[in-house]
Structure 1
Amino acid sequence: MDKNQQYQSVFRHINQNGDGKISPPELQICIGKIGGDLSLEDAEMAAALMDSDGDGMLSMEDLVKVVESANEEEKFSDLKKAFKMYEEIEGSGCITPKSLRRMLSKLGESRTVDDCKVMIAKFDVNGDGVLSFDEFRVMMA
């Protein structure tokens, strides 16, 4: 099942009355089924925030946009955590060849500082010899 089919399946499951839109009460029921607690007022507010056509209900496209946005935020957060693992070693706000070598060593991969300089150079856009978070993010894409 591809991603689009998965979205359609989830949408159909939430859209209990089959009208092609997720209403605030349907959203409230869905959140309740996964263990959350959402008042009808909060469900109405959430639907209004996510709704693209102003009818107060969510279309399939609205649902996909919300899920994709959440996935991007999660990926960004995960990258930040990974970057901090390297960054905290040096405390410099960037990944240095030494900090990269130490982290790779912890992961069981033995590299020299020169090897790490070469690895960093491939993604070091500004040529300062270290990786900023933005350069790290490009590398991980």
Structure 2
Amino acid sequence: MDKEQQYKRVFKHLDVNGDGKISPPELQICIGKIGEDLSLEEAEFAAELMDSDGDGLLSFDDLVKVVESANEEEKVKDLKLAFKMYEEMEGCGCITPKSLKRMLSKLGESRTVDECELMIKKFDLDGNGVLDFQEFQDMMS
């Protein structure tokens, strides 16, 4: 089952009355089923924030946008954690050849500093010999 089919299944499940839109009460019921409390007022506010056409209801596209956005935020969060593991212990905010060598060694890969310099050079967009977070993010995507 591909991602769109999964989204459609979830949407159909949330759209209790089958009208092709998720209303605040339907959103409230859904959140309640996963064990969270959401007042009708909070559900209306959430629907208003996610609603793209101003009708106060969530379309399939609205749901996909919210889920994709949450997934993207989670990816960036994970990349930031990974970046912190690789960056220099002094906290320079970048990955140096030595810090890359050290981390790869911890992961069981033996590389020389020269090899690490070459690896960094492939993704070092500003040519400063180290990777900042943006360069690391580009490399990982």
**TM (normalized to structure 2)?**
0.97
Judge which range, 129-138 or 27-36, deviates more.
27-36
Q: Distance in 1 between matches of 2:128 and 2:36?
A: 47
- Counterpart in the other structure of 1:60: 60
Unaligned residue ranges in structure 1 (runs of 5+): none
Map 1:1-141; keep pairs closer than 5 Å. Answer: 1-87=1-87, 89-141=89-141
Distance 1:100 1:32, change over 3 A: same
Q: Distance in 2 between matches of 1:113 and 1:29?
A: 56
Q: How far 1:36 moved relative to its partner?
A: 1.6
* Structure 1 segments (4+ residues) deviating >6 Å: none
Q: Distance in 1 between matches of 2:24 and 2:67?
A: 17
Q: Distance in 2 between matches of 1:73 and 1:36?
A: 22
Instruction: Please tell me the root mean square deviation across aligned C-alpha atoms, in Å.
Output: 0.8
SS in 2 for 1:73: helix
Q: How far 1:132 moved relative to its partner?
A: 0.4
Q: Distance in 1 between matches of 2:6 and 2:14?
A: 12
SS in 1 for 2:104: helix
SS in 2 for 1:28: helix
Q: Distance in 1 between matches of 2:100 and 2:37?
A: 43
Contact 1:90 1:99 in 2 (8 A): no
Q: How far 1:88 moved relative to its partner?
A: 5.1
* Letter of the 1:62 counterpart: D
The alignment covers a number of residue pairs equal to: 141
**TM (normalized to structure 1)?**
0.97
Percent identity over the alignment is: 77
